Structure 1
Amino acid sequence: MRHIVQIAPAIEPGRGVEAVAHHLEREFRRAGARVDRFTLSDAGGDWLPEPRGGMRGRAGHALRVAWFSTVGTVLARRYLARNPGAVAICHNDALTGDVYVNHGILQVAMRARGRYAGRMVRNPLHLFTALRDHLRYRSGTHRLVVNLTRQEDRDLRGTYPGLRPGTVVIGNGVDLDRFAPPTPDERRAARAGLGLGEDDVAMLFVGHEFERKGLPAVLAALAELPPQVHLVVVGGSADMVAALVRTARRNRVQGRLHAVGADPEPQRYFHASDVLVFPSAYESFGLVVLEAMASGLPVIATRVGCVGDVVDEGVNGYVVDGSAAEIRDRVLALLGSDRVALGRAARRTAEAHGWACVAREYLAVVDRLAARRAVSAGRPR
């Protein structure tokens, strides 16, 4: 029987890295594998504060990263020593595991946002992460790195020319049951909840980092679009949402902005909307793009993360340069397009990226690594 250990600070439904590990765990078990986990709780980190908004939240996040990178590394290695037959898949922070899943390259993200040196020096966590990942990629810590896109694979090799482990590209998956096109009743209810009229067109933005993910450009584009175009923003802290509303008021679009804050169950906003607008500066993958497509929404996005692999220009969405002018022009083009056909094409694209398909690729990697380990140990395969 396959034995897999997943290492991540948390493994649970929702969004982000913890959700990736959760979906893989579920699919591995469905395939008959024994799956164990090593989390921040197993590393004795239950006492650490939960990350929240503001300075205290950032400090809490930094403490958790540092703890799982150091104490978590030591204890996870001891755990794996007691399970020598397991293939370990590490998702974040800890410096151990046969496979490391690269969920983002800090240096590439900072360069994409501009003022690289200042951003790195101002934040001690950035310097710590850069040093930790230098050790990760230049040593024999991992046998293989999983990159989420072909571009991320190229970026990793460019950032770490002395990269020691081999690499493979396996994208993230999408929950095709949770994210699905709405029924007519679901769509009517979702739009009514936002006060959208029958002829209104809703752009959707989902993300917690407004600046990096390009929300200012989307808001600027909204000011130049016809009055039936609205913007639904999911994510951000209370302070960020309040600042966004003030900006919308200055731009005289406050009546067309629907800033709903963070929501762990965002499906109703996908149901209410007509297009996802996502001009992010950097994404290691950008799962929200696949979630939108699975929900039957065409996508207007910059060529980051999975966008270059899944967006077919004019068929299921559009690729933009991130400027307000180009976002405006693509939304105007969308208004004159067959949005139903675009949405159906988007759903078909997403169906090729379900978690069951992704898990099969990981299991093939697990089997290869287990076979090589058996040969190295002189055991029969």
Structure 2
Amino acid sequence: MTHIVQIAPYIGRGSGVAGVAWNLQTELAAMGHTVESFTVATAQRRPTRGWPKHPLMRAFALFRRMVWFTTVGTVRARRFLAERPDAVAICHNNVMTGDIYVNHGVVGAAMRARGNGLWRMIRNPTHIFTYVRDSIRYRSGLHRAVVALSRSEADTLRRVYGRVRSRIVVIPNGVDLDAYRPPTPEARRRARADFHLDDDQRVVLFIGHEFSRKGLDQTIEALVFAPSVLLLVVGGNAQAIDAARARADVLGVAERVLFVGTRTDLPLFFAAADIFVLASAYEANALVVLEALASGLPVVSTPVGYAPELIVDGDNGYLVARDAREIGARFEDLADADLAEWGVRARRSVEHLGWRPIAERYLALVDEIIAERAATGAEA
């Protein structure tokens, strides 16, 4: 039995870093290993408080927590690990310790991909702090190994930070193949009825909170070139939704865009949709792409993160430029296709990416690190 400690600000069901850590932890524990968590709550020795509602206050609170967990959290994490000398630590964010660090994104690449990268960096102290912190992390060899979520992300790490002293291992994110699966005809009927969608309507699904980075503007404009589809938008705050709705109105497609705001019952939306879109400027490895494919939806995506390794044009989706005309053309291609066949191929393309085989790859890396430690101890 192996002893593993996972480090992340928060670990729990859902999307993002917290969800990745939770799924990994669940599988490792199910395999019989001892898995502990070190989170902000662990470091504070008390439950975390809720976030302020005002956007500026919330942003400040997030920045303060990130700095605190990077500094004080690192000191306390090292003490925590010192009391568990047999444990191998997998760090997912902020804290500057751990045998393995999982890179969930490169801030410099994300800013550059959106344009005016330098200006985006210097106007936001969170981005500056993250870049400096991670430059120290990668160039000093703090960790025995760094996990990149795709081959392209491994290349991005080297390009942005120069020489990465820790060895880089590529392990993609997994997907919950039980939670995300093609719907039964009855489940699809109920899901579409919830949104008053007819059976013959072709529905494109967009999920994301950062509308600008994830390409909602381009997706809405694509409807001009795809008159036979509707767009279902999940995510975003009230201000972002109002701006996107105004954009749709200017383009004359507002009647074909449905905004539902932030939701957590994502399988319902996958069941209601026919096509998934992600016209993102940057992703390390978008979980929603895996979830869409697992749900039997063909994916129209820009070539970001893991998408180029997963999507085969004309088989389970299309890779496109961040161009509304091209995106719209692919929507129309799929609207005319037999989507049942596409759905079978989409599901098949991710069946090797369930969380159990992904956890096994992490465990193999953990075993290598245990062997390295033993060899180092023997030499000493």
Task: Give the letter for the 1:73 counterpart.
Answer: T
Find the residue that maps to 1:290 and give its secondary structure: helix
Which whole-Å CA distance do the structure 2 matches of 1:188 and 1:311 have between them? 27
Distance in 2 between the 1:250 and 1:259 partners?
Answer: 16
Once the two structures are TM-superposed, the CA of residue 371 in structure 1 deviates from its matched residue by: 1.3
Q: Deviations over 1:145-170 (max 9, x none)?
A: 00000000011011122211111000
Mapped to 1, the partners of 2:304 and 2:48 lie a distance apart of 36
Deviations 1:262-300, CA, capped at 9 Å, x for gaps: 111211110000000111000000111010000000000
Separation of aligned partners in 2, 1:373 and 1:66: 30
State the shift of 1:241 in Å.
Answer: 1.4
**Unpaired segments of 5 or more residues in structure 2?**
none
CA displacement 1:309-332 (0-9 Å, x = unmatched): 110110000000010000011111
Q: Could you tell me how far 1:134 is from its partner in structure 2?
A: 1.0
Name 2:273's counterpart in structure 1: 273
Q: SS at the partner of 1:57? A: helix
Q: 1:105: Cα distance to partner?
A: 0.3
Corresponding position of 1:302: 302
SS of the aligned residue for 1:109 comes to helix
Q: What is the rounded CA distance, in whole Å, between the counterparts of 1:345 and 1:131 in structure 2? A: 42
- Answering whether residue 8 of structure 2 is matched by residue 12 of structure 1, we say no
Q: What's the secondary structure of 2:213's corresponding residue? A: coil
Q: Post-superposition shift, 1:46?
A: 4.4
Amino acid paired to 1:262:
T
Distance 1:21 1:239 in 2: 31
| Corresponding position of 1:127 | 128
Alignment partner, residue 161 of structure 1? 162
User: Could you tell me how far apart the structure 2 residues matched to 1:293 and 1:102 are?
Assistant: 23
Equivalence map 1:90-239=2 (5 Å): 90-226=91-227, 228-239=228-239
Question: Quick one: distance in 2 between partners of 1:126 and 1:48?
Answer: 24
Q: For residues 101 and 189 of structure 1, do their structure 2 counterparts lie closer, same or farther at Cα, with a shift above 3 Å needed?
A: same
Matched length: 378
CA deviation string 1:118-140 (max 9, x = no partner): 10110011111111111101113
Cα–Cα, structure 1 residues 312 and 88, in superposed 2: closer, same or farther, change >3 Å? Answer: same
User: Is the 8 Å Cα contact of residues 8 and 38 (structure 1) preserved in structure 2?
Assistant: yes
Post-superposition CA distance 1:28-56 (Å, at most 9, x none): 01111100110000111745552757222
Q: State the alpha-carbon separation in 2 of the partners of residues 246 and 53 from structure 1.
A: 23
**Who is 1:285 aligned against?**
285
1:251 CA drift (Å)? 2.2
CA distance in 1 between counterparts of 2:289 and 2:365 reads 26
Specify the code of the residue in structure 2 equivalent to 1:344. V
Match in the other structure for 1:27:
27
Q: What is the letter of the counterpart of residue 170 of structure 2?
A: V
Per the TM alignment, residue 372 of structure 1 is displaced from its structure 2 partner at its CA by: 1.4
In the TM superposition, what whole-angstrom CA distance separates every residue of 1:187-212 from its partner, at most 9, and x where no partner exists? 11111111111211000001100000
Q: Tell me, yes or no, if the aligned pair for 1:52 and 1:60 is still in contact at 8 Å.
A: no
In 2, are the aligned partners of 1:48 and 1:60 still within 8 Å (CA)? no
Partner Cα separation in structure 2 for residue 220 and residue 248 of structure 1? 7
Distance 1:179 1:28 in 2: 20
CA RMSD of aligned residues (A): 1.4
Instruction: Return the TM-score normalized by structure 1.
Output: 0.97
Q: Which runs of 5+ in 1 are unaligned?
A: none
8 Å CA contact 1:279, 1:301 repeated in 2:
yes
Preserved CA contact (<8 Å) 2:229 2:335: no
- The sequence identity of aligned pairs, in percent, is 47
CA shift, 1:247, in A, is 2.0
Give the counterpart letter for 2:156 in structure 1.
D
Counterpart of 1:346?
Answer: 346
Q: Cα 1:250–1:124, aligned 2, differ >3 Å: closer, same or farther?
A: same
Preserved contact between residue 280 and residue 302 of structure 1 (Cα < 8 Å): yes
Report deviation, 1:375. Answer: 2.1
